[in-house]
Amino acid sequence: MRISFNRMEWAGSVGDLGALLPLAFAMIMINGLSATGLFLTVGLFYIIGGMYYRVPIAVQPMKVVAAYAIAQALSPEVITASGMMIAVLLFFLGLTGIVSQASKVIPLSVIRGVQLSTGILLVLKGIALAVGNSSFQAARGAVEPFLSFQRIGPVPLSLAIGIFFAAVTLALIKSKRFPAGLVVVGSGAVLGLFLGAWKVLVDLSLGFHLPEILPFGFPSGEAFSFALLALVLPQVPMTLGNAVIANKDLSFEYFGDESRRVTDRALCISMGLANMFSAFVGGMPVCHGAGGLAAHYRFGARTNGSNLIVGGIFVLLAIGFGSESIKVLHLIPMGVLGVLLVFAGWQLVLTVRSLRAKVDIAVVIVMLGITLTTNLAWAFGAGIILSLLLQKLKVSS
């Protein structure tokens, strides 16, 4: 097993923070999830996933669940119920082999459509964070909620930070001596410290904290029924398309035979285990996202050393600081997280270059349009139907 802890692995390890942290912050502060349980889940999932798959693997919030839960300020009981049901469904799909059979009939054009659509969503989310109008920033009423001031003249502080660090990233994106991800996150945290984020660290003290089991109690039948309709059913198609099928394809593209353990079945089972654990410690539903993998790879991750690095950081934060662990991560400005998201999203967009046939490109474009007007789950289903229909009609390229 090839493993490394060099500068590029450190840089790649933090490449996906832009997708992870804003949603994690919001679900802790708006929905009341346990910071200890959430970050411990993320850390352990990174470590165990990296050791099993032996290549970089991403850990991300389940986007449909997170977005709806945050927008509706759902209770932690409902989110816990959704995590439990998602875990059971993933176990069923993985252990029965149904997911492996399903992936065999998914055309490449649909996989590329999922990857392109996810990439565009990440780019747009990154731009929103940099401009300062993401849902999290709007809810907090500030473009940089944890810094002392919000504007430099007429320019939002998040935008000024975003433009600066975007230029830094472009300048260093191919550098092995000064890896872009490491420089951007490290210097961004230092900047945040000097711009007022140090205030959240004043009362911070190191200790030993373990998560509480079922901190919100076992969900009621009403919580399960609501979560099934509002969160689980919309999330599962997106998870299968992006976190299983597209993720497996992207891992093979990046790492070839080294990613032989990254199978549809294994991804379902590992996500099932992670979500059941997360539900029992008050965390959020999590997945292996193709966008997260693209982010880690774009910033330098080439071995599972990157997983052990970022996973170790989150485990230490959770155990060392408990519910206060979120304060340490407030050092990283929103503008920096936006830059990470933009570059990660663009890396995923580039996967569409492998398509040549016009019918395949048409499927991808239709899926992107549906994603931007509805959501990725609908686009995934529509892409499969359209692709199979075009094959049946024998439309030529």
Check if the beta carbon of residue 204 is closer than 8 Å to that of residue 328: yes
- The C-alpha angle with vertex 228 and arms to 227 and 232, in degrees rounded to 5, equals 90
Structure-token pair, residue 260? 């032989």
The answer for residues whose C-beta is within 8 angstroms of residue 371's C-beta and 6 or more apart is 117, 120, 121, 378, 379
Residue whose token pair is 């099928």: 245
- What is the pTM (predicted TM-score) of this model? 0.87
Distance (Å, whole) CA 319 – CA 314? 9
What is the DSSP track for 301-338?
--STHHHHHHHHHHHHHHHHHGGGHHHHHTTS-HHHHH
> In this predicted structure, what is the pLDDT of residue 156?
95
Residue whose token pair is 């205030």: 199
- The C-alpha angle with vertex 169 and arms to 163 and 330, in degrees rounded to 5, equals 70
> In this predicted structure, what is the pLDDT of residue 258?
94
Specify the amino acid at residue 17.
Answer: L
> In this predicted structure, what is the pLDDT of residue 395?
65
> In this predicted structure, what is the pLDDT of residue 396?
57
> In this predicted structure, what is the pLDDT of residue 204?
83
Torsion angle defined by CA atoms of residues 219, 223, 228 and 229, in that order, rounded to the nearest 10 degrees: -170
Distance (Å, whole) CA 301 – CA 8? 6
> In this predicted structure, what is the pLDDT of residue 103?
82
Distance (Å, whole) CA 342 – CA 120? 9
Distance (Å, whole) CA 199 – CA 335? 19
Number of H-type helices and E-type strands within the chain:
20, 4
Beta strands in the chain (DSSP E): 60-61, 151-152, 155-156, 286-287
> In this predicted structure, what is the pLDDT of residue 18?
85
Residue whose token pair is 């994603």: 371
**Alpha-carbon Rg for the chain in angstroms:** 20
* CA distance readout (Å), 226 to 74, 87, 271, 283: 10, 16, 22, 18
- Bridge pairing between strands 286-287 and 155-156: unpaired
> In this predicted structure, what is the pLDDT of residue 1?
64
Distance (Å, whole) CA 178 – CA 184? 10
Other C-beta atoms within 10 Å of 150: how many?
15
Distance (Å, whole) CA 236 – CA 217? 24
The answer for residues whose C-beta is within 8 angstroms of residue 332's C-beta and 6 or more apart is 17, 21, 185, 188, 189, 192
pLDDT in single tens digits along all 397 residues of the chain: 679 999 999 999 998 998 888 889 889 988 999 999 999 999 999 999 999 999 999 999 998 888 888 878 889 999 999 999 999 999 999 999 999 888 887 888 888 988 898 889 889 989 999 999 988 898 889 999 999 999 999 999 999 999 999 999 999 988 988 899 999 999 999 999 999 988 888 888 889 999 999 999 999 999 999 999 888 988 888 898 889 999 999 999 999 999 999 999 999 999 999 999 999 999 999 999 888 999 999 999 999 999 999 999 999 999 999 999 998 889 999 999 999 989 888 988 888 888 888 888 999 999 999 989 988 888 888 999 998 888 888 765 5
Distance (Å, whole) CA 215 – CA 55? 33
> In this predicted structure, what is the pLDDT of residue 370?
93
* CA distance readout (Å), 72 to 23, 216, 230: 14, 18, 11
